[in-house]
C-alpha cells in the first residue's frame, strides 16, 4: 500500500541545515496497523507529514497504492489527501463552530458530494464510532475521547486508503486512550491500513508492527503480538 | 473547480454563513464599518438631491432664464450729456430689443407706483375702507415670465383689457382681506383707485421670495396705468425672458448694451443701467447644489472605501485566528482555490450585507427627513431621493472593492502551508 525508498528530508534553520530524515525505506501492506515510534526529534512526525503529503521530501520515492507521488502542487496534494488519506491529530482539530455531523461531513464536502449524501454518510460513520446521538453537538460539548472519535469518523468518512494518526492518544487519559485505540483496532480489523505515530510503548504494542526511528533512520522494524484492547464503545 | 458553480452552490454559502456567524461580534463590527459608509453616502446624496429639488421648487414660479433691467444714474459723461442723468426707458424700446436680440422670447415693460423710492402708492377705497397699495401697470406677457397664480374664478390682465384701456385690476390676498368682508366675493366688484373705479377681475396668490412684490399688490393694464398716471411712453423697467437654450448672461449684456446705445449712455458706464439676472442666480444656486451632490459622492465613496478596508483588516485578523481551521480544511482536502474562494466570498458577502442594510437605513432616514420637511415652504427642501442606478452602482463598487480587499486575506490564507497551520497551537 505504502512504499518509500531512500527518503531524505532536511530543514534549513538559518545558516545550518538540519537533516531530519536520512534515507528511510519502508513498505506497508494493505491492512497493516503500524506504530511509528521514536523520541522527539527522531523524525517520526516529519515522516508522517511526508506520507500525508503535507510536506515534500527532498529526495526519494513515495508510492501510495502504486501511484507515484511526486511533483505535487498544492492543489493536487489537496486532492490526493482528500481521496487517499485520513488524518487523526493529537489535538483532534475539529472545527469548533461545526457540530459533530458537520465536522464528519467536511471531507465529503471537499469531495464534491451532495448535501443529502454527505449527511447520510456522516451519520453512518458517527454511528460506527458510537456517537450517533451526539451528531448535533458542538465539539465544546464533547469529552476528549468523544472528540477524538468524531475525528476518527471524519478521517474515515472520505473512505481513504490509509489512516494517518499523529499521537492520537497524546491528549487523552489512559481510559479514553484505550477506547480510541480499540476503535482504531476495530477499523484496522475491517481491513484499513493505519499508521500511528506515538512515543508511548503501550500504545505501540496495541499495533501489529512497530517501526522505531532514531536520528532520522529506522533502527528497528518488528512485528509484535498485538495487545487487543477490550471494546468499550 | 468551476468558480461560477461555487458561487451558486448552496453548500458554499452554508460554509461561509457558518464561519461568519461563528464570531458574531466580529461580523457585526465589520459590517458596521461599511454600513456606516453607504449610510452616509445615501443620506448625504439624498439630502443634496432634496436641496436641489428645493431650489428648483423655489424657482418654479419664475422663468429660469429671466432678468430685470432698469435705468439708474449715469456715471460717465457721454455724447454731450453730463454725469448724473437718469435715462428713461420707453415703450418703443420693446420693439427695438425684440428686433435686435433674437434670443428674447418675452419682454414685459412694467410701471409701478409705491415700489421704488419717491413714488406714492395708490390710494384705494372700497365702501368705507381706504388703504394704500403698490400698483403695477402690466402687459399680459408678464405672466409668461413670472407665473402669477390667480385664485379660482379670476384671471390676469389680457390683450383685450390692454387694447381697450379697461379699468380692471387684479388684487392681492391682503387687499382682498382688508377691503372686502370675509364672505364677500371680490370678483366683479368695483374699487376706487386714485378716485377711478376699477373692476376686480382676479385675486393673485402671494408667493414668497418673488423679490419686491407683496401680498397687497394691485395689477392693472399697462395702458390704463399710463392714462391713470400720465406716464406717457415711460417704462420703469423691463422684465425679459430669453429662450431656454440661450445664454442668459450674454442676453443680459446685449440688452444692456442696446439700451445704452438707444439712450445715449456711455458703453463703459456700468452704473447707468441696473439689472438682475435670475438665470445667473439660478445657475449659481444649482451649481451649489451640484457641488453638494459631488461632495456627498466623494465623502460617501471615501467612507465606503474606509469601511471596506476595515473589512479587509478584520478578515486578515480572522484569517490569522483561523490558521488552524484553514490548515485542517486543507488537510481534509480543501484546495488552495477553495480556501481562497471562501475567504473572498466572505469578504464580498459581508460587504454586500452591510451595503444592503446601509441602503435600507439611509432610505429610512431620507423618508423621515422627507416627512419632517413636508410642510416647510420657507426652506428649500423637497423630496430627498437617491436614484436607483446610483444605489446599484454604489453596491457594485462595494462588491468590487470587497473582492479586491478580500484578495489580501485570501492570499494570506493560502500562503500558509497546511503543515505550518496545523503545527500552530
Mean pLDDT of A27-43: 90
User: Which range (A116-125, A200-209, A212-221, B138-147) has the least confidence?
Assistant: B138-147
Facing residue for B22 by CB, picked from A75, A87, A97? A97
Mean pLDDT of B82-107: 91
**Per-domain boundaries in chain A:** 2-223
| Chain B: closest CA distance from residue A81 (Å) | 5
Looking at every residue in chain A, the average pLDDT score rounds to 90
pLDDT given for residue A123 in this prediction: 94
DSSP string for B148-177: --B-TT-----HHHHHTT--EEEEEHHHHH
Q: Do A183 and A233 meet the contact criterion of CB atoms below 8 Å apart?
A: yes
Please report which residue ranges of B322-335 form alpha helices under DSSP H.
323-331
A167 touches chain B (CB under 8 A): no
Facing residue for B418 by CB, picked from A54, A75, A115? A54
Chain B interface with A: residues with Cβ < 8 Å: 10-11, 15, 18-19, 21-22, 324-325, 327-338, 414, 417-419, 422, 425
pLDDT given for residue A233 in this prediction: 47
Facing residue for A115 by CB, picked from B11, B21, B333? B11
Which of A77, A93, A122, A125 would best serve as a mutation to test chain B binding (most B beta carbons within 10 A)?
Answer: A93
Q: Do A202 and A41 meet the contact criterion of CB atoms below 8 Å apart?
A: no
pLDDT over threshold 60, residue A232: no
What residue of B is the nearest CA neighbor of A76? B335
pLDDT given for residue A149 in this prediction: 92
pLDDT given for residue B14 in this prediction: 77
C-alpha to C-alpha distances, A135 to A96, A231, B331, nearest whole angstrom: 14, 21, 22
C-alpha to C-alpha distances, A24 to A55, A57, A209, B6, nearest whole angstrom: 15, 11, 16, 41
B331 vs A87: CB contact, 8 Å cut-off? yes
Provide the pLDDT confidence category of residue A153 given band limits of 50, 70 and 90: very high
Provide the pLDDT confidence category of residue B289 given band limits of 50, 70 and 90: confident
A74 vs B324: CB contact, 8 Å cut-off? no
Burial classification of residue B251, based on how many CB atoms lie within 10 Å of its CB (0-12 exposed, 13-18 middle, 19 or more buried): buried
pLDDT over threshold 60, residue B425: no
pLDDT given for residue A151 in this prediction: 94
Looking at every residue in chain B, the average pLDDT score rounds to 85
pLDDT over threshold 90, residue B283: no
Kindly calculate the radius of gyration of chain B based on its CA atoms and give it in whole angstroms: 34
B335 vs A107: CB contact, 8 Å cut-off? no
Mean pLDDT of B65-80: 89
pLDDT given for residue A101 in this prediction: 93
For residue B328, the chain A residues in CB contact (below 8 A) are 89, 93-95
Mean pLDDT of B86-94: 91
Q: Which is nearest to B425 in space by CA: A90, A196, A189? A: A90
C-alpha cell recorded at residue B160: 383685450
A159 touches chain B (CB under 8 A): no
Facing residue for B332 by CB, picked from A74, A82, A102? A82
A-B interface: how many C-beta pairs under 8 angstroms? 69
Interval B319-366: pLDDT, tens: 888 888 888 888 888 889 888 888 888 888 888 888 889 889 988 888
Tell me the fold of A2-223. Rossmann fold (3.40.50)
Share of chain B above pLDDT 70, in %: 94
Mean pLDDT of A14-26: 88
pLDDT over threshold 90, residue A34: yes
pLDDT given for residue A134 in this prediction: 92
- Interatomic CA distance for residues B364 and B358, integer angstroms: 10
A52 touches chain B (CB under 8 A): yes
pLDDT given for residue B137 in this prediction: 93
A93 vs B324: CB contact, 8 Å cut-off? yes
A81 vs B11: CB contact, 8 Å cut-off? no
pLDDT over threshold 90, residue A154: yes
| Chain B: closest CA distance from residue A118 (Å) | 11
Bigger pLDDT: B219 vs B399: B219
For residue A154, the chain B residues in CB contact (below 8 A) are 332
Mean pLDDT of A214-228: 90
For residue A52, the chain B residues in CB contact (below 8 A) are 331
What residue of A is the nearest CA neighbor of B19? A97
**b/e sequence B33-66, b meaning 16+ C-beta within 10 Å:** bbbbbbbbbbbbbbbbbbbbbbbbebbeebbbbb
A61 touches chain B (CB under 8 A): no
What residue of A is the nearest CA neighbor of B340? A75
pLDDT over threshold 70, residue A176: yes
C-alpha dihedral, B245 to B247 to B248 to B251, nearest 10°: -110
Put simply, whether the predicted model's pTM sits higher than 0.90 gets the answer no
Provide the pLDDT confidence category of residue B1 given band limits of 50, 70 and 90: very low
Amino acid at each position: 500500500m505504502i512504499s518509500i525508498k531512500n527518503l531524505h528530508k532536511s530543514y534549513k534553520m538559518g545558516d545550518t541545515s538540519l537533516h531530519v530524515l536520512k534515507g528511510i525505506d519502508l513498505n506497508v501492506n494493505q491492512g497493516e496497523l503500524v506504530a511509528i515510534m521514536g523520541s522527539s526529534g527522531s523524525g517520526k512526525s516529519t515522516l508522517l507529514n511526508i506520507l500525508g503529503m503535507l510536506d515534500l521530501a527532498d529526495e526519494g520515492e513515495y508510492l501510495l497504492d502504486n501511484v507515484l507521488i511526486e511533483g505535487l502542487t498544492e492543489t493536487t496534494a489537496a486532492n490526493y489527501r482528500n481521496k487517499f488519506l485520513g488524518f487523526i491529530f493529537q489535538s483532534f482539530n475539529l472545527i469548533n463552530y461545526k457540530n459533530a455531523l458537520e465536522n464528519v461531513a467536511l471531507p465529503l464536502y471537499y469531495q464534491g458530494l451532495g448535501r443529502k449524501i454527505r449527511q447520510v454518510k456522516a451519520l453512518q460513520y458517527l454511528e460506527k464510532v458510537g456517537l450517533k446521538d451526539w451528531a448535533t453537538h458542538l465539539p465544546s460539548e464533547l469529552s476528549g475521547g468523544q472528540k477524538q472519535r468524531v475525528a476518527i469518523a471524519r478521517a474515515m468518512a472520505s473512505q481513504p486508503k490509509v489512516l494517518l494518526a499523529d499521537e492520537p492518544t497524546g491528549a487523552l487519559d489512559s481510559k479514553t486512550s484505550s477506547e480510541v485505540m480499540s476503535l482504531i483496532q476495530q477499523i484496522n480489523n475491517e481491513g484499513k491500513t493505519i499508521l500511528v505515530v506515538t512515543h508511548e510503548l503501550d500504545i505501540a504494542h496495541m499495533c501489529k508492527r512497530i517501526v522505531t526511528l532514531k536520528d532520522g533512520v529506522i533502527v528497528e522494524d518488528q512485528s509484535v503480538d498485538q495487545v487487543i484492547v477490550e471494546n468499550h464503545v | 473547480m468551476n468558480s461560477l458553480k461555487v458561487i451558486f452552490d448552496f453548500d458554499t454559502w452554508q460554509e461561509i454563513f457558518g464561519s461568519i456567524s461563528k464570531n458574531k461580534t466580529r461580523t457585526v463590527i465589520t459590517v458596521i464599518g461599511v454600513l456606516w459608509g453607504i449610510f452616509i453616502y445615501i443620506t448625504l446624496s439624498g439630502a443634496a438631491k432634496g436641496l436641489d429639488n428645493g431650489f428648483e421648487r423655489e424657482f418654479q414660479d419664475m422663468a429660469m432664464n429671466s432678468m430685470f433691467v432698469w435705468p439708474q444714474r449715469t456715471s460717465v459723461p457721454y455724447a454731450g450729456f453730463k454725469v448724473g442723468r437718469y435715462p428713461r426707458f420707453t415703450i418703443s424700446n420693446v420693439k427695438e430689443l425684440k428686433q435686435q436680440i433674437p434670443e428674447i422670447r418675452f419682454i414685459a415693460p412694467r410701471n409701478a407706483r409705491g415700489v421704488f423710492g419717491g413714488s406714492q402708492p395708490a390710494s384705494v377705497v372700497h365702501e368705507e375702507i381706504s388703504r394704500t397699495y403698490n400698483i403695477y401697470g402690466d402687459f399680459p406677457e408678464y405672466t409668461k415670465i413670472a407665473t402669477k397664480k390667480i385664485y379660482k374664478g379670476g384671471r390676469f390682465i389680457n390683450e383685450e383689457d390692454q387694447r381697450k384701456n379697461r379699468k380692471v385690476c387684479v388684487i392681492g390676498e391682503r387687499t382682498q382681506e382688508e377691503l372686502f368682508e370675509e364672505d364677500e366675493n371680490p370678483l366683479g366688484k368695483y374699487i376706487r383707485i386714485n378716485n377711478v373705479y376699477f373692476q376686480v377681475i382676479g385675486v393673485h396668490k402671494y408667493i414668497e421670495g418673488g423679490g419686491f412684490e407683496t401680498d397687497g399688490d394691485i395689477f392693472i393694464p399697462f395702458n390704463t396705468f399710463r392714462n391713470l398716471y400720465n406716464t406717457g411712453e415711460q417704462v420703469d423697467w423691463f422684465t425679459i425672458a430669453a429662450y431656454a437654450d440661450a445664454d442668459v448672461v450674454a442676453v443680459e449684456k446685449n440688452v444692456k448694451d442696446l439700451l445704452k446705445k438707444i439712450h445715449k449712455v456711455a458703453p463703459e458706464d456700468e452704473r447707468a443701467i441696473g439689472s438682475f439676472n435670475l438665470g445667473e442666480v439660478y445657475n449659481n444656486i444649482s451649481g451649489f447644489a451640484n457641488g453638494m451632490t459631488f461632495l456627498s459622492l466623494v465623502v460617501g465613496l471615501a467612507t465606503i472605501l474606509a469601511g471596506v478596508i476595515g473589512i479587509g483588516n478584520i478578515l486578515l485578523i480572522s484569517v490569522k485566528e483561523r490558521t488552524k481551521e484553514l490548515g485542517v480544511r486543507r488537510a481534509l482536502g480543501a484546495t488552495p482555490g477553495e480556501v481562497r474562494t471562501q475567504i473572498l466570498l466572505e469578504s464580498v458577502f459581508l460587504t454586500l450585507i452591510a451595503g444592503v442594510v446601509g441602503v435600507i437605513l439611509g432610505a429610512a432616514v431620507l423618508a423621515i427627513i422627507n416627512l419632517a420637511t413636508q410642510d416647510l415652504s420657507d426652506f428649500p427642501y423637497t423630496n430627498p431621493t437617491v436614484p436607483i442606478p446610483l444605489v446599484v452602482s454604489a453596491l457594485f463598487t462595494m462588491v468590487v472593492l470587497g473582492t479586491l480587499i478580500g484578495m489580501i486575506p485570501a492570499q494570506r490564507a493560502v500562503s500558509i502551508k497546511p503543515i505550518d497551520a496545523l503545527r500552530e497551537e
